[in-house]
Amino acid sequence: MNLLEKFEYWGDRHHPKWLDIIRIALGIFLCYKGVDFLRNSSNLISLMKNTSPFSEFMVVLLAHGIAFVHILGGFFLALGLFTRAACLIQIPVLIGAIIFVNINATKDAFSPYSELFLSIIILLLLIYFLIIGNGPLSVKVPPEEHLKEHENYIHKVKGEPEET
C-alpha cells in the first residue's frame, strides 16, 4: 500500500459527518466566486495585469480558466463527487491568489478587510478535504451504505450483534 492509498484509506475511515456541511458550503462558495469572477472579469484581469508577469492574452486566458476551475471544482466539491481531484485542481489557484493577488496587490495585506485570511482558510480547507475525501454525505456514497450504517448503529444501541 503506497502513501496515497494510505491517505485515502485513513480519510475514508475518519470522517465526521458534520464536516460534509463545511465541504458543501466550501463548494457553494467556490461556485459563487467563479460566477463573481465571470461577472467582474474586467476587474480580475486588471488586477492580474498589475501583479502577474504574464502577457495580456495569458492574463485573459488565466482569468477565464480560474473562473471555470472555481465553478466546476466548487460544483464537484458540493456534490462530493471527485472531491480529491477538485481540491487538487483548486489548490494552485488559491496559492496563486495568495501570492500574486492578496500579498502583492495591496500594501496593507493584513488590513481587516483584506481577503488574504479568507484565501488562506479556503486553501487549508482544500488541503484538508484533499486528504480526508468526500465523506458520507456525497453522491459517491450510495444510499444503501447509509442505511447499513444506520442499521448497524441501531443493533449496537440495542446490544444485538451487527450485520456484516
pLDDT at 67: 92
Mean pLDDT is lowest, of 22-26, 31-35, 153-157, for 153-157
Percentage of residues in the chain with pLDDT exceeding 70?
A: 71
Residue 26 banded pLDDT, cuts 50, 70, 90: very high
Mean pLDDT, the chain, whole residue set: 80
Half-sphere exposure of 9 (CA within 13 A, CB side): 6
Nearest 5°: phi and psi at 94?
-70, -35
pLDDT digit string (tens) for 103-159?
665 555 556 656 788 889 999 999 999 888 887 777 775 556 556 665 666 667 677
pLDDT at 96: 86
Identify which has the larger pLDDT, 85 or 139: 85
pTM, entire model: 0.73
Residue boundaries of the structural domains of the chain? 3-137
Evaluate whether 74 touches 29 at the Cβ level (below 8 Å).
Answer: yes
pLDDT at 10: 67
Can you tell me the distance from the alpha carbon of 44 to that of 34, in angstroms, rounded to the nearest whole number?
A: 11
